[in-house]
Structures are given as structure tokens and as C-alpha cells.
Amino acid sequence: MDTLFRIEGRAGRITLNRPKALNALAHDQIPEIEKHLIAWRDDPAVELILIDGAGDRAFCAGGDIQKLYETGRTGDYAYGRQFWSDEYRLNALIWNYPKPYVAIMHGFVMGGGVGLSALGSHRIVTDNTQVAMPECGIGLIPDVGGSMLLSCAPGRLGEYLGTTGTRMGPADAIHATFADTYVPQADIEELKSALCADGIDRIGDFAQPLQPGPLMQEQARIDSHFGGETAMDIVNSLEHVNGEWEQATLKTLRRNAPLSVACTVDAVHRARTLRRIEDALALEYRFTARCMEHGEFLEGVRAAVIDKDRNPQWAVPRLEDLPQIRVSQMLMPLGEDGLKL
């Protein structure tokens, strides 16, 4: 079974069970998780949801993009649109869930894994946690509600994390508001048992303080460079400072798909004006619904996952060559084809 469901004590428990694939989320897992969450929402015996991942390496390293690539390569864009619409419906359910939703964010928590965890009400990080939204590297933008999460991060961390895909350890994940509480790895299993036996109030008994991570220390520098209106404003700001951090950041940003980087900046800015997760997901879907036919997704996945040459040949290789109208075209309303939740 790719996903394990059971009720233990007061908790409805979900375990992502594809450890060899770093618990990457496959399409057929999404309706199963949704079905159980809806059933447990109305079950008085279930006081809280507890979701975790099998194995030591990952809670969930993202969506399973192999089939998205295979179908997109044949010109079948309907499969991808269905995958993303189903996933986003689940994301909205998690964000709006009326009962405590506890996610154990151990190991890699990326892309689709962020949507299954950081949208919940109680987000637990531990020693080996690595949270990231690396979508720009494969020609996507941070989705699964990522635009909303990034827009809530302090200062301009949202633009920085979204365009560079920088990984966050436990302290950084809490600082960026992707997580709430740090619990040492050695105490995680005991925490799970306590939650099942006694309920949500036990989290406080296990929480421990953390020293500040790199993001907090770099906050002022990030805010100064990533506050521009467009991605090119950010690039220009970084290029005008010959510092080691600025040049390394610029190199990372330029490695990603220029179209994705530019659209990410725009999406995070727009998300700051939104109040409902449904509106952020609808905005993200405008991009993902177009990303195979009109974007760089297929080339990004080819380079990262299929051929693994790490050398994507972007159709528009530099931000300087990207007309701003391309951003508008990728994020414009879809009309009747828009996301329906």
C-alpha cells in the first residue's frame, strides 16, 4: 500500500509509504487521502489528524512527475491538469481542515510534500528536516499553495525561497513560517504516541528551542535585494554587489528556468493580496495548466529526472531575454478552464 490509513486512539493516522521513492506523491494517492480526511472530519472518534512518511529520509520529496512527463511528451496535457486540480483540491481541504492536522516534517519536505504538511495547523520539524520549494528548477512555480506560504514569510523571504529553491533546516522553516515547532528526532516516536493517546495539547511537552538559522541572519540582505517589482529588478540588484553571497545567489537563480523565476516573483506578489487559499491555488493553476504546452516544464523534468544531465536547454535562456508579457500570458485567467474546487 502506497498510503497507510488507520485510527490510533484519538488520531486518524496517514503514513506515506513509498520510502524508496522518498515518499513522492503519486496521483492515485491523492483521492485516497482526500476520502479519509473527509470521513474523519465528520467522525467524532477522530480528534486530530497525524500524517508522517515511512523511512528515515523523507516525509515527501514532492509529486511523482514521471507520468506527468510521459503524458506531456505525447501532447496529452489533460492528465497533468487533472493531477494538479485533484492535488490542489486536497491542499485546500488541508488548509481549511476544522480539526488539528499534525504533520511530522522529517527529512526531505519538498514541493507536493509541502502541500501535505505546511498547509496544516500543526507543523513539526526535527533534526534532519530539509524544506524547499524547488519548482523553478524544473520549469514550474511553487504551487500546492506555495505562493500563499511564501507570501506569508517575513520580508522578502518568499521571493528568495521561491526563485532559488533554497533548502530550509528546522530553524529556517520555522522562521519562514513553513513550520511551527521543533521536536528532537529522538523524541518523535514518543510524540506520536502521546498525540494518539492524549490529544493535541501534548505537543508543548515535546517542543524545544532552536538557535537561529542562516535565513534569519541573512534577512536584511535578502530584503534589500529581493524587494524589486520584477525578477530583473532582483537580478540587477544582485549584480551591482560583488559580494560572495550575492554572486552565489545570482548563480543559483540563473540556473533555474527564467520564465518560472519571473512568474514566481509575480505570483508571490499577487498572493500577498489574497485571503483565501482557493484563490492562491487558482492562480498557481493558471501556470501549471499551461506549463507543458507553453512553458519549460518538460525540458526541466528531462534534465533533472529523465536524462539527469542537469543541463536544461531553456527556450528562453536568460531573464534579460524574457518579455514581461510572457509572465502575464502564463498567469492570465483561464476562463472556463480555470481551477474548479
Mean pLDDT value across residues 135-139: 97
CATH 3.90.226.10 fits domain 1-341:
yes
Q: Kindly list the domain boundaries of the chain, sorted by start residue.
A: 1-341
- Rounded to whole angstroms, the Cα distance separating 315 from 307 reads 18
The mean pLDDT of the chain is 97
CA distance 224 to 100: 37
Q: What is the mean pLDDT of residues 134-138?
A: 97
User: Dihedral of CA 61/133/288/262: which sign?
Assistant: negative
Q: Cell numbers of 192, please?
A: 506520536
> Over pLDDT 70: what percentage of the chain?
100
CA of residue 147 relative to chain centroid, distance: 9
Q: Where does the pLDDT of residue 261 fall: very low under 50, low under 70, confident under 90, or very high at 90 and above?
A: very high
Note the pLDDT tens digit of each residue in 282-324.
999 999 999 999 999 999 999 999 999 999 999 999 999 999 9
Longest dimension (CA), the chain: 60
Does position 170 have pLDDT exceeding 90, yes or no?
Answer: yes
pTM over 0.75: yes
- The whole-angstrom distance between residue 78's C-alpha and the CA centroid of its chain comes to 22
Residue range 172-193: average pLDDT? 98
Residues of the chain with pLDDT > 90: what percent? 98
Q: What is the DSSP letter of 251?
A: H
DSSP-derived secondary structure letter, 333: -
Secondary structure (DSSP) of 205-241: HH-B-----HHHHHHHHHHHHS-SSSHHHHHHHHHT-
Question: What value does the mean pLDDT take over residues 100-121?
Answer: 98
Model confidence at 64, in pLDDT bands (50, 70, 90)? confident
The answer to whether 199 and 48 are in contact (CB under 8 A) is yes
Question: Per-residue confidence at 122, pLDDT binned at 50, 70, 90?
Answer: very high
Q: How many helices (H) and strands (E) does the chain have?
A: 16, 9
- Mean pLDDT calculated for residue range 14-41: 97
**Interstrand relation of 11-16 and 48-53 (parallel, antiparallel or unpaired):** parallel
pLDDT of residue 21: 95
